[in-house]
Amino acid sequence: MLISPSILSADFANLEAELKRIANADWAHVDVMDNHFVPNLTLGLPVVEALLQVSPVPIDAHLMIEDPDRWAPGYAEAGCGSVTFHVEAARDPRTLARAIRAAGARAAMALKPGTPFAPYADLLPELDMVLVMTVEPGFGGQSFLADQLPKVREVREAVRRHGGEIWVQVDGGVGSDTLERCADAGADVFVAGSAVYGAPDAAAAVERLRALAQRHAH
């Protein structure tokens, strides 16, 4: 059960210090938004490269961008431990996942709330993680969409049938009140933004969430 705090809720003027606040997390979740695929602009490869120099934990880059086929492998080459592309934006997700893996990162596929998993289930052999978005991507601090839990369950069942070590990640509105339902549905990687960075002690919040997740581990 892995906790991946989202720096989308962190202080962008002090990202090195904010990463050090979550040194006990498993990953740092970094949202890359291009103002095209989603209606928000955050940061890109130069900032991610700088974060990689100072982060105490591996970086999980979530690319909410158009043309990930062109741009995503560069994040793997830069040293991100995991690179997630949106299947809605990828022209050739199979080739893209292979390119991300070839560059040394875990390859992950993200699904927006309105995107069904079944049409993409055959991509599992190419993937190390599937991200089920539990909010509409674009902004932090949104409310959790409980109607995505059946999709989490569906992905977990498909992973069980497939075998292998494929993580199921949830991102959006994940906190102490919603994490248990996600874990029960089969998620094992939890992206938490305001639940961690909105807490007075971010490291203690990470520990609380991890303990909660472990109680509900399958």
> What pLDDT shows up at residue 140?
83
Active site residues per annotation: 31, 171
39-to-8, 66, 137, 197 alpha-carbon distances in Å: 14, 12, 9, 23
How many structural domains compose the chain? 1
Which residue range is the domain that position 31 belongs to? 2-215
pLDDT digits (tens, 9 = 90+) for 119-161: 999 999 999 999 999 999 988 888 999 999 999 999 999 999 9
pLDDT digits (tens, 9 = 90+) for 46-96: 999 999 999 999 999 999 999 999 999 999 999 999 999 999 999 999 999
Task: Count the alpha carbons within 13 Å of 200 in the hemisphere toward its beta carbon.
Answer: 0
Q: What is the pTM of this model?
A: 0.96
> What pLDDT shows up at residue 205?
98
Cβ proximity of 177 and 138 under 8 Å: no
CATH code of residue 74: 3.20.20.70
Extract the runs of DSSP E, i.e. beta strands, from 95-150.
106-111, 129-133
Mean pLDDT of the chain: 96
